[in-house]
Amino acid sequence: MNASPAPADPRSWLTTTPKGLYCVPGGFFIDPAWPVAKAVITHGHGDHARPGHGAVLATRETVEIIRTRLGPDTIGSLQGVKYGETTRIGDVDVRLVPAGHILGSAQIVLEWRGARIVVSGDFKRRADPTSPPFEPIACDVFVTEATFALPVFRHPPDMQEIARLLGSLRTFPDRCHLVGVYALGKCQRVIRLLRAAGYDRRIWLHGGLMAMCEVYRRAGIDLGDIAAVSEAGPARRNDLFQHETFRGAIVLCPPSALGDRWTRRFPEPLPAAASGWMRVRARARQRGVELPLVISDHADWDELIQTVRDVQPGMVWVTHGREDALVHQVQTMGIPAEALHVAGREEEGS
Amino acid sequence: MQRFAALLDSLAFQPARNAKLRLMTEYMCTTPDPDRGFALAALTGTLNLPNAKPALLREFGVQRLGETLFVLSYDYVGDLAETLALIWQPSDTASAGQNQPAPSLSEVVERLRAASKRETPQLLEQWLDALDSTGRWALLKLLTRDLRVGVSARLAKQAIADLGKRDIVDVEEVWHALQPPYQALFDWIEGRAPRPDPGAAPVFRPLMLATALEDAELAGLDPAAYRAEWKWDGIRVQLVATAGHRHIFSRAAEQATTAFPDIIEIMDFNAVLDGELLVARPDESGTVHVAPFNDLQQRLNRKQPNPKLLQDYPAHVRLYDALMIDGEDIRALPFDERRTRLEAWYAARPRPRLDLSPLVHFGTWEELAAIRAGTREAGIEGLMLKRGDSPYVAGRPRGPWFKWKRAALTADCVLMYAQRGHGKRSSYYSDYTFGCWRPTNGGTAELVPVGKAYFGFTDAELIKLDKWVRDHTTNRFGPVREVEPGLVLEIAFDSIHRSTRHKSGVAMRFPRVHRIRWDKPPEEADELATLERMIAAP
Ligand SMILES: [Zn+2]
């Protein structure tokens, strides 16, 4: 009579703790905010992959990224796996499948006693030349992000935004176009998009962006002619001696460098930023951006809803972002949904 | 419409004046008629379209999204038109993106003008379906009359002047004789037709402006070449009257006609006159006494004054120049000759509520300085010096006309930040940080903060200032709001000193808001260099 045990309450085996999401029968955390003994990491962004853990399982690409970002000795053991490969941890089968967010990003598929939970991590649905596409996996519980979970967030086609950047270069051919990008993912994607749009001039990079570009190159992603700004020679202190090299050039830098004194070397810099937040004017103005480019590595509202439709989960848990709207919408679609309050998530340069 | 929307979008994000000019001229170069003419009308505030009420936008939003999602979205974005533009999806999702083609700006203008009140929402819905989010934003901003992209009418005219490599005063001279979509203007600017001639049409003529005189400059000037007048503490106006037309224009060429029926009433003449609008009351002997500026403010606050206001605050215009008399354009004549004509004209037909600003006679600069120092009369800000041989030239040539203000120093500054006050002012943005212009290496100008003031205005003005701050906020830091550079505050201060503690390098002593210059374009505010020259020698 009791050949197959009744499916366990999913909350009983995947729980939220102050350190993050914890898989009880597996004895590991997912993207924990604090150092733990065992962790499975969805992707290499700073608020997901933190230092100090005893053992980490992640995709091979993510392992490479973690090594570069955090240095070789900040994590006890780093185990890299291929997409689709199953690893048994404790009593749980763990499989990493593409999330389409950045290089190496994965959803974590957990199976235990015939039940399946998918933790999406950060994801997006549109094509990205630097990351394999998101793979919908049917499941009992889909744990989704909600960074852009409001109907105001609908990212336009990325090539349209790149065309706006190139159009601005035509209008202001004398101004150095400084584009704020997150160092991991956004930077390399913007470079690839520029190449796809036919821009084959050298793209200059803030020094802080070089290491990750190297990781992408080693993963076989061609970024064309890129160089660190410092390679143009030392910047002179005198404002009148701005580097003519950068006149009409595209320079990528971390968003935090946009208003920095570092930018003084550039002739008439025009600050731009590539981020999903740029969709809302007040947000763009807050950052002093003159050319907001809506290019995001996160699912927009339509993608989030389409993903729930594709995955057909029995239940949706919403981790980080604008939970209210997504919970409301998923419930309206007839699927039980609730917000999980997971520690340690910040807005990244989405 | 999409192209116009892209222009507005770029303008809204681009703070630099020169870059804004570049964006506008590029648009004007590459956009066909009549679209660009309507765009110019929208930028200069001459495009009169039926407006859409916020309630309609909200109703659309709730229809499309449901109450919950709409409220969450609006809360997040904070701007109704922008929220609707962002959330809007074509009603028939199957045909999304392949509805009718997006309308052109002229189509929008022409169909809206022809539409009845009931048809407007339908048209709007149809266009929202056809436009992208930037297009929807621009359309909704146009229809809610909330087009804040940091472009003054003057800057848009400057772009037209740049397009034809003309002086802006040439554009201003013909501007008021033209109508949207300004075909004749573009024909002239692009060399296909002669300059439109306003002739004796009852239109605004660009003003001749004075530059500030610094005491050190006096020595180089010949006192015999100059005439002196009082500088009245009012609002500069241009009275334009012909048979059948009477207008009062502000210095920014805005109509002030309806607000001053008491002046309109006495304009039964054919002339274009330059003078100061004041509140003034005659005494029993007939001598006219100018009231403090605050009295005039009561009148300026009302677009449609009631009889009591007209009686309590009688308007008065004190004339100091004439541009045209009886259909004859006398601007090319020297000041002395124009003055003689003006005096003769007035002597022949004196009127109540109208008089001449007297000339102040003097022999030497020392004598004039003593007269200036000895005058503490309300309503006088200082002296004007005008060369007797100066023709009436539009713009601000340096040399023929000077303003020589009275001792308390003042500067026109641009409001940059506002902070909430304390006590009963805790819900008002009542502490103001203002700045002056400083050239950048890129050839543009930036604002640098030069001081803070939190008094000098009435409670009624505070309410208006608070509203202005809330409507023009670009950024928030706790209790502080950053605002668009759009409002000029005339700041009075006792003295100004060098300071290493301030980014601007100067610090004012006892700065206060002397006057709120709702009428003054921010780009005409003072430069930091002007403040630096006011620094007293140690
Ligand atoms: Zn991420």
B23, containing H or E segment: helix B17-30
Of residues A287 and B45, which shows the higher confidence score?
A: B45
Q: In this structure, what token pair is assigned to residue B452? A: 């803070």
Question: CA of A211 to nearest chain B CA: how many angstroms apart?
Answer: 32
Q: Which residue, among B126, B131, B136, has the nearest Cα to B79 in the 3D structure?
A: B136
The answer to whether residue B390 scores a pLDDT higher than 60 is yes
- Residue in B13, B22, B77 closest to A152 by CB: B77
Which structural domain, as residue segments, surrounds residue A302? 10-152+298-339
* A56 and A118 housed in the same domain: yes
* A188 and A252 housed in the same domain: yes
Question: CA of A142 to nearest chain B CA: how many angstroms apart?
Answer: 22
Is residue A218, in this structure, part of any structural domain at all? Answer: yes
B412, containing H or E segment: strand B409-420
Q: Within 13 Å and on the Cβ side, how many CA atoms surround B300? A: 23
Question: CA of B255 to nearest chain A CA: how many angstroms apart?
Answer: 33
Q: Which residue of B7, B13, B477 to mutate against A (max A Cβ within 10 Å)?
A: B13
At position B412, the amino acid (one-letter code) is: D
Sort out which chain A residues have CB atoms less than 8 A from B26's CB and list them: 171
Phi/psi zone of residue B112: left (φ > 0), alpha (ψ -120 to 50 degrees), beta? Answer: alpha
C-beta atoms of B82 and A281 within 8 A: yes
Q: In this structure, what token pair is assigned to residue B61? A: 């939003």
Q: Which residue of A147, A150, A152, A238 to mutate against B (max B Cβ within 10 Å)?
A: A152
**Model pLDDT for residues B115-145, shown as the tens digit of each residue:** 988 899 999 999 999 999 999 999 999 998 8
- Residue in A282, A289, A329 closest to B78 by CB: A282
Cα–Cα dist A138/B425, whole Å: 58
C-beta atoms of B72 and A290 within 8 A: no
Q: Which residue of A has its CA nearest to B87?
A: A152
The answer to whether residue B88 scores a pLDDT higher than 90 is yes
Q: Are strands B512-517 and B488-493 parallel, antiparallel or unpaired?
A: antiparallel
3-state secondary structure B166-203: CCHHHHHHHHCCCCCCCHHHHHHHCCCCCCCCCCCCCC
* A264 and A317 housed in the same domain: no
Which burial class, exposed, middle or buried, applies to A104 when counting CB atoms under 10 A from its CB (0-12, 13-18, 19+)? buried
What is the pLDDT at residue A55? 95
Q: Which residue, among B366, B359, B367, B363, has the nearest Cα to B384 in the 3D structure?
A: B359
Its pTM stands at 0.76
Q: What is the rounded average pLDDT of the residues B306-327?
A: 95
Give me the residues paired with residue A107 across strands. A97
Give me the residues paired with residue A14 across strands. A23
* A145 and A278 housed in the same domain: no
- pLDDT-derived band at A179 (thresholds 50, 70, 90) equals very high
Supply angle C-alpha B401, B405, B407, rounded to 5. 155
What is the pLDDT at residue B399? 85
Q: What is the rounded average pLDDT of the residues A12-28?
A: 94
A280 part of contact set with chain B, CB < 8 Å: yes
Cα–Cα dist B237/B248, whole Å: 7
**Model pLDDT for residues A250-293, shown as the tens digit of each residue:** 999 999 888 666 776 888 889 999 999 999 988 887 777 899 99
Sort out which chain A residues have CB atoms less than 8 A from B132's CB and list them: 156
For all residues of chain B together, what is the average pLDDT? 89
C-beta atoms of B13 and A268 within 8 A: no
Instruction: Report the Cα A321 to chain-centroid distance in Å.
Output: 13
- Residue in B68, B73, B476 closest to A152 by CB: B73
Q: In this structure, what token pair is assigned to residue B464? A: 């208006």
What is the pLDDT at residue B252? 78
What is the pLDDT at residue A1? 41
Q: What is the CATH number of the domain that holds A269?
A: 3.40.50
* CA-only gyration radius of chain B, Å: 25
Is residue A347, in this structure, part of any structural domain at all? Answer: no
C-beta atoms of A290 and B23 within 8 A: no
Is residue A1, in this structure, part of any structural domain at all? Answer: no
Q: In this structure, what token pair is assigned to residue A344? A: 């340690």
Percent of chain B clearing pLDDT 90 (strictly above)? 59
For all residues of chain A together, what is the average pLDDT? 91
Query: What's the start-to-end Cα distance of chain B, in Å?
Result: 59
B73 part of contact set with chain A, CB < 8 Å: yes
Q: In this structure, what token pair is assigned to residue B31? A: 């956009």
Q: Which residue of A has its CA nearest to B72?
A: A325
Q: Which residue of A147, A148, A150 to mutate against B (max B Cβ within 10 Å)?
A: A150
What is the pLDDT at residue A240? 43
Question: CA of A325 to nearest chain B CA: how many angstroms apart?
Answer: 6
A293, A314, A330 - which closes a domain: A293
The answer to whether residue A348 scores a pLDDT higher than 50 is no
The answer to whether residue B516 scores a pLDDT higher than 90 is yes
**CA B282 vs CA B263, B287, B313, B352, B393: distances in Å:** 15, 5, 12, 10, 34
Q: Which residue of B30, B82, B86, B140 to mutate against A (max A Cβ within 10 Å)?
A: B86
What is the pLDDT at residue B455? 84
C-beta atoms of A289 and B83 within 8 A: no
**Model pLDDT for residues A202-224, shown as the tens digit of each residue:** 999 999 999 999 999 999 999 99
What is the pLDDT at residue A5? 53
What is the pLDDT at residue B199? 81
Q: Which residue, among B507, B483, B485, B505, has the nearest Cα to B495 in the 3D structure?
A: B507
What is the pLDDT at residue A268? 83
- pLDDT-derived band at B1 (thresholds 50, 70, 90) equals very high
C-beta atoms of B83 and A152 within 8 A: yes
A322 part of contact set with chain B, CB < 8 Å: yes
* A138 and A75 housed in the same domain: yes
C-alpha of residue A32 to centroid of ligand 1, in Å: 14
Cα dihedral A177, A183, A186, A192 in deg (nearest 10): 70
- Residue in A152, A268, A291 closest to B87 by CB: A152
Q: By the 8 A CB rule, do B467 and B447 touch?
A: no
Is residue A345, in this structure, part of any structural domain at all? Answer: no
At position B276, the amino acid (one-letter code) is: E
Instruction: Report the Cα B314 to chain-centroid distance in Å.
Output: 24
* A171 and A48 housed in the same domain: no
What is the pLDDT at residue B213? 86
What is the pLDDT at residue A3? 45
Domains in chain B: ranges and CATH: 2-144 (no CATH), 207-232+359-404 (3.30.1490.70), 233-356 (3.30.470.30), 409-532 (2.40.50.140)
Q: How many domains does chain A have?
A: 2
Cα–Cα dist B8/B4, whole Å: 6
Q: Any residues with CB less than 8 A from the CB of B166 and at least 6 apart, and which?
A: B189
Q: What is the rounded average pLDDT of the residues B48-75?
A: 91
What is the pLDDT at residue A27? 97
Q: Which residue of B has its CA nearest to A290?
A: B13
Q: Which residue, among B310, B215, B207, B312, has the nearest Cα to B264 in the 3D structure?
A: B310
Question: CA of B288 to nearest chain A CA: how many angstroms apart?
Answer: 51
What is the pLDDT at residue B224? 95
C-alpha of residue A161 to centroid of ligand 1, in Å: 21
C-beta atoms of B73 and A282 within 8 A: no
C-alpha of residue B60 to centroid of ligand 1, in Å: 35
Cα–Cα dist A100/A82, whole Å: 15
A293, A313, A330 - which closes a domain: A293
Write out residues 39-68 of B within 8 Å (CB-CB) of A.
65, 68
Of residues A38 and B480, which shows the higher confidence score?
A: A38
Q: In this structure, what token pair is assigned to residue A40? A: 């499975």
Handedness of CA A309, A313, A316, A317 (dihedral sign): negative
Q: In this structure, what token pair is assigned to residue B397? A: 């040539």
- pLDDT-derived band at A320 (thresholds 50, 70, 90) equals confident
Question: CA of B475 to nearest chain A CA: how many angstroms apart?
Answer: 5
- Residue in B13, B73, B441 closest to A290 by CB: B13
Q: What is the rounded average pLDDT of the residues B157-178?
A: 91
Q: Which residue, among B207, B533, B230, has the nearest Cα to B385 in the 3D structure?
A: B230
Cα–Cα dist B482/B17, whole Å: 18
* A61 and A133 housed in the same domain: yes
The answer to whether residue A239 scores a pLDDT higher than 70 is no
What is the pLDDT at residue B444? 86
Give me the residues paired with residue B526 across strands. none
* A73 and A138 housed in the same domain: yes
Sort out which chain B residues have CB atoms less than 8 A from A292's CB and list them: 13
C-alpha of residue A184 to centroid of ligand 1, in Å: 9
C-alpha of residue A30 to centroid of ligand 1, in Å: 14
Question: CA of A149 to nearest chain B CA: how many angstroms apart?
Answer: 10
* A268 and A252 housed in the same domain: yes
The answer to whether residue B82 scores a pLDDT higher than 90 is yes
Where does A82-192 show beta strands of DSSP type E?
Answer: 86-89, 92-98, 106-112, 115-119, 141-146, 177-180
Sort out which chain A residues have CB atoms less than 8 A from B10's CB and list them: 168, 291
Give me the residues paired with residue B274 across strands. B238, B321
Q: Which residue of B has its CA nearest to A154?
A: B86
Q: Which of A68-82, A229-243, A312-326, B51-65 has the lowest mean pLDDT?
A: A229-243
Percent of chain A clearing pLDDT 90 (strictly above)? 77
Q: What is the rounded average pLDDT of the residues B415-432?
A: 78
Sort out which chain A residues have CB atoms less than 8 A from B135's CB and list them: none
Of residues A195 and A235, which shows the higher confidence score?
A: A195
What is the pLDDT at residue A7? 64
The answer to whether residue B536 scores a pLDDT higher than 80 is no
C-beta atoms of B441 and A289 within 8 A: no
ipTM: 0.91
* A274 and A208 housed in the same domain: yes
Q: What is the CATH number of the domain that holds A28?
A: 3.60.15.10
C-beta atoms of A280 and B132 within 8 A: no
Q: What is the rounded average pLDDT of the residues B432-459?
A: 90
Cα–Cα dist B240/B200, whole Å: 10
Residue with tokens 């008089």: B355
What is the pLDDT at residue A343? 63
Is residue A134, in this structure, part of any structural domain at all? Answer: yes
C-beta atoms of B441 and A239 within 8 A: yes
Q: Which residue, among B292, B496, B515, has the nearest Cα to B409 in the 3D structure?
A: B496
Q: Are strands B211-212 and B401-405 parallel, antiparallel or unpaired?
A: parallel
* A116 and A143 housed in the same domain: yes
What is the pLDDT at residue A265? 80
Instruction: Report the Cα B1 to chain-centroid distance in Å.
Output: 27
Angle separating helix axes B105-114 and B119-130, nearest 10 degrees: 160
Write out residues 112-171 of B within 8 Å (CB-CB) of A.
132-133
The answer to whether residue B216 scores a pLDDT higher than 90 is no
Where does A186-339 show beta strands of DSSP type E?
Answer: 203-205, 226-228, 250-253, 270-274, 291-293, 315-321, 337-339
- pLDDT-derived band at B59 (thresholds 50, 70, 90) equals very high
A149 part of contact set with chain B, CB < 8 Å: no
* A305 and A324 housed in the same domain: yes
Sort out which chain B residues have CB atoms less than 8 A from A172's CB and list them: 19, 22
Is residue A344, in this structure, part of any structural domain at all? Answer: no
DSSP states along B114-144: H--TTHHHHHHHHHHHHS-HHHHHHHHHHHT
- Residue in A168, A172, A324 closest to B72 by CB: A324
Question: CA of B423 to nearest chain A CA: how many angstroms apart?
Answer: 29
At position A139, the amino acid (one-letter code) is: C
**Model pLDDT for residues B351-388, shown as the tens digit of each residue:** 999 999 999 999 999 999 888 877 656 567 789 999 99
C-alpha of residue A139 to centroid of ligand 1, in Å: 22
Q: In this structure, what token pair is assigned to residue B109? A: 């203008």
What is the pLDDT at residue B286? 81
Q: Which of B149-158, B227-236, B495-504 has the lowest mean pLDDT?
A: B495-504
Cα–Cα dist B182/B180, whole Å: 5
